Structure 1
Amino acid sequence: MTAVGVRGAGPRRVGLRTIGLPRPVAARVVVTGLATTQRVVAAIGSLLAAAIVVDALVAVDALAAAPLLVTPFIGVGMLALVLLWRPTVLTAGLYLLGGAVFSVAVPVLILDSAPELESTGPYLFNRIATALCLVGAIGGRALSGVLWTALAFIVAQASVSIGLTLAEATVRTGLGPLIVATIAVAAYTTLAIAQRQTERRLAVLTATAAEQSEVDRRRSLELRAAAVVHDTILADLALIARSRGPLEPRTAEVLDEHLQTLASTTVADPEPAAPRSGSALGAALLELAREYQWSGVRVDVSGIELLPESMASRARHALLGAARAALDNVVEHAGTDRAELVAGARGDAVSVLIVDDGRGFAADEVAEDRLGLRTSVTQRIEQVGGSVRVWSGPEGTTVMLTVPRGEGAR
């Protein structure tokens, strides 16, 4: 998978080749892409609807009213572009509120200027209502797309009904908003189910990998214990069985050495609580996530079972320090209560991603006196030959830290 970023500030990259984004991040990109497409369609569709209204006015010889009647369609198109530029809860609410006002105004204005257009049915009157149903998801979660679409449909139907009532016309809302809302809800529901299944499968795979790691560890202990028994106890018993009479001094000395060896050594894992992922980096990342449990931000960790068992100590410490600084930024600036820490490795590169769905920022516009991103994150990683990539926008921020694995202690 090719690394893909959300809209916002461009990626910063130094040195190392890219690593594909993990599934949780890719799912957010898919949802964001669908929402972006909806808003583009809403903007273009509103302008096309304005052209249709002009054509209808020409047919009934009421073209003089065109400037006033196309204003609501252009207005909702502009709101769609604002939502496209900065998709936040505030702009989405403004889009629905402004769109509702325009939707109420359309039948009132059209039927006041050209009453004969009532016979054309609800098609001209529900164009803005249909555009409202393309509000899209906010925050990169598919479930938010379902909720916002349902809210938009309610607002759309109500606004058309109110507008036709005020115009003293027959209330017919038409099928346009219903069809668009149904398709959008179906798409986001499918994505939500896929996201949920992916998260469940990832949890199962993580648990399975941890269980297999534990089984392998126990098997290793059993083999080491069997080797000790074979090389010492069984050999000593066989030596005693072959002896006649008192043991020779040398034999007794060997037996004594073996007893001292058994008394001073163990086949048990010297660190039974070591990271089940098999790596010191994995244990440190889990511990790092636990440190933030009282910060107000829950940090979900995944992928540590895929980390290498060993890597250069200097690179590991740089990765941990930069990850901590990135999480500090989430706590202080993102305005969210949840973050994801996703680890992975490919070839000689080890990567950690910190993902949040809070308010983003423009990396190129960070003030010079703000040293967190430049010094605590970027400079720390670059000093060990690694790279930092940042994607940020209204849907959240993703920071990818990549370092060469190198050689060294665990």
Structure 2
Amino acid sequence: MAVFETPRPVAAAAIVHGLAAAQRLIVVLGLLFGALTIADLLAARSHGEYTTLVIAPVLAVSLLALVLLWRPTLFTASLFLAGGAVSSVAVITLGLTVDPGFAEPGPFALNRTATALVLVGALHGSAVSGMVWSTAGLIVAYGSLAVGLAAGGGAAEPGWGPLLIFIVSFLAYGILALAQRRARLATPALENALASLERAERQRALELRSAAVVHDTVLADLAVVAASTGPLSDRARERFVADLDLIRSSSVREPSGTRPVSTEFGAALLELAHDFQWTGVRVEVSGAEMLARPVEARVADALLAAARAALDNVARHSGAERADLVVGERSGVVSLLVVDDGRGFDPDAVPADRLGLTTAIRGRVENVGGSVRIWAGEDGTTVMLTAPMREDAR
């Protein structure tokens, strides 16, 4: 079973997206309920013939909220606030014109449309944007209430509804903003320290192994020479030659035939992330510690080179301040994701002669039997590199 650890920034952005979507859905349902309440109120006061006229602006805001829920962009959010402000003024003015007691026994019917504006929600998975848009919604809400009351000639109070909803929304996004900030500022110091310690331990183990080889060959051979009183025998010479061949083939480096994903490949990913700290892009690595199967050196080199090329594109073109490397494996296949939250792009619009995507990424991975998939949009880009952990498994 593939095991992927969701990167902290990605998880935080998903929570923000979920909260914003929930707010917009609440707006739609709340306004529909508000329209029914206003209709009931007008019918009870014998003004049923004006029901359609008064609730039409409420339904219009509900429609704008659906558009914002479907496509949350700067344009649709601005349209929601602008259209909501006009609709709020229209509801108050029409309601007070039809019935001067429209705000009795309380301001529920009067400020319902304005209250919905506070729940405009965050954009692009940023909790800070949620705080900003909630504040803008509160300002627009009370502005529309003031204009509507002035136009309708009413002396009713605007009510506390928009402010109370704003406080809840602002606090929720504030908590998420703190969590996102901590996730961004938290450097992988512990992971780097553990990786450095693992590399040092492996290096020391290899040095000890090399020292043991020297002890078992050179020192033993010298002892034989020192103890000899005459010419060396042919058998001793053959042993010395074999020992010299063994020493020449020995190295303090790990064998390059296979590389454990959980150690050397994971350490290589951490080193790759460290290399990009000077580019202005902070790279975090997730999932390497969950893997234990060996990956062939050529496959590992291809994945690392393709990941470096993808991160180069992040640093040069995306405008993102961070990226995530997420690695996992299943049934002998290793997958490496490069995720950023910057400006997306259209992979189909990239010219075929551009070497960065065609050769540096796709070509390298496909040469070892792998494949590349790319998802890009307004919230960022995800590049998924997949390859068999051994070439002979293709």
Give the structure-1-normalised TM-score: 0.72
- Preserved contact between residue 273 and residue 284 of structure 2 (Cα < 8 Å): no
Secondary structure of 1:279's counterpart equals helix
Instruction: Report the equivalent of 2:99.
Output: 114
Cα shift at 1:42: 1.0
Q: Which moved more, 1:200-209 or 1:103-112?
A: 200-209
Select 2:338's aligned residue among 354, 357, 375: 354
Cα distance change, pair 369–339 in 1 and its aligned pair in 2 (3 A):
same
Q: What residue identity is the alignment partner of 2:17?
A: T
Q: 1:239 to 1:371 in 2, by over 3 A?
A: closer
Matched, 1:177 2:155: no
Taking the aligned partners of 2:352 and 2:141, their CA distance within structure 1 comes to 45
Measured in 2, the distance between the counterparts of 1:37 and 1:378 equals 38
1:78 corresponding residue in structure 2: 63
Could you tell me how far apart the structure 2 residues matched to 1:367 and 1:258 are? 60
Mark the CA change 1:361 to 1:168 in structure 2 (over 3 Å): closer, same or farther. Answer: farther
Pick from 385, 388, 391 the counterpart of residue 401 of structure 1.
385
- Once residues 380 and 234 of structure 1 are traced to their aligned partners in structure 2, the CA distance between those partners, rounded to angstroms, is 46
Q: How big is the shift at 1:156?
A: 2.0
- Provide the residue aligned with 1:343 in structure 2: 326
Q: CA deviation at 1:57?
A: 1.0
Aligned length: 380
CA contact (8 A) 1:73 1:102 kept: yes
Query: Which whole-Å CA distance do the structure 1 matches of 2:223 and 2:365 have between them?
Result: 59
Query: Which whole-Å CA distance do the structure 1 matches of 2:25 and 2:129 have between them?
Result: 19
For 1:379 and 1:71, the matched residues in 2 are separated by 57
1:56 aligns with one of 32, 37, 41: 41
Residues 20-31 of structure 1: pairs in structure 2 closer than 5 A: 20=4, 22-24=6-8, 25-31=10-16
Look up the equivalent residue of 1:346 and give its one-letter code. Answer: E
Matched residue of 1:115: which SS? coil
The whole-number CA distance in structure 1 between the counterparts of 2:148 and 2:374 is: 46
Q: Distance in 2 between matches of 1:212 and 1:285?
A: 13
Instruction: Give distance in 1, aligned partners of 2:199 and 2:189.
Output: 15
Q: Residues 17-75 of structure 1: CA distance to partner in whole angstroms, max 9, x if unpaired?
A: 86546233333323212211211111222222122111111121122222221122112
- Secondary structure at the aligned position of 1:173 is classed as coil
> 5 Å matches for 1:145-156?
145-156=130-141
Q: Contact between 1:153 and 1:177, CA under 8 Å: does it hold in 2? A: yes
Whether the aligned pair in 2 keeps the contact of 1:281 and 1:316 (CA below 8 Å) is: no
SS of equivalent residue, structure 1 residue 119:
coil
Provide the C-alpha distance between the structure 1 equivalents of 2:312 and 2:127, rounded to a whole number of angstroms: 24
**Partner deviation per Cα, 1:133-164 (whole Å, 9 max, x = no partner):** 22122111333323322332233233323322
Q: Does the residue aligned with 2:108 lie in a helix, a strand or coil?
A: coil
Q: Mean Cα displacement is larger for which, 51-60 or 93-102?
A: 93-102
1:208 Cα deviation after fit: 3.4
Structure 1 residue corresponding to 2:177, chosen from 181, 184, 192: 192
Work out the CA distance in 1 between the residues paired with 2:390 and 2:249.
32
Structure 1 residue aligned with 2:31, among 46, 70, 77? 46
SS of the residue corresponding to residue 116 of structure 1 reads coil
Instruction: Find the residue that maps to 2:339 and give its secondary structure.
Output: strand
Unaligned segments of structure 2, at least 5 residues: 256-260
- In structure 2, how many angstroms separate the alpha carbons of the residues matched to 1:330 and 1:109? 54
Quickly say closer, same or farther: Cα 1:41–1:57, change in 2 above 3 A: same
More displaced, 136-145 or 298-307?
A: 298-307
**Larger RCO (CA within 8 A; separation ≥ 6):** 1
- Equivalent residue number for residue 88 of structure 1: 73
Equivalent residues of 1:310, 1:407 under 8 A apart: no
Cα distance 1:222–1:20, how it changes in 2: closer, same or farther (>3 A)? closer
Alignment CA distance shift 1:206-1:284 (3 Å) = closer
2:7–2:286 contact (8 Å) kept in structure 1: no
Question: Match for 1:313 among 254, 277, 298?
Answer: 298
Alpha carbons 2:370, 2:386 under 8 Å: kept: yes
Q: Could you tell me whether the CA contact under 8 Å between 1:319 and 1:403 is conserved in 2? A: no
Question: 1:301-349: CA deviations, max 9, x gaps?
Answer: 42385476643525752674477368648955x6x43451313123433
8 A Cα contact 1:312 1:407, kept in partner: no
Match of 1:5 in 2: none
Q: Distance in 1 between matches of 2:104 and 2:93?
A: 15
Alpha-carbon deviations, 1:100-142, whole Å to 9, x = none?
A: 2222332222111211223332211221222112212211133
- Residue from 124, 128, 135 that aligns with 1:139: 124
Native 8 Å contact 2:281 2:315 kept in 1: no
1:240 Cα offset (Å) = 9.6
Q: 1-side partners of 2:41 and 2:86: how far apart?
A: 22
Other structure's SS at 1:117 match: coil
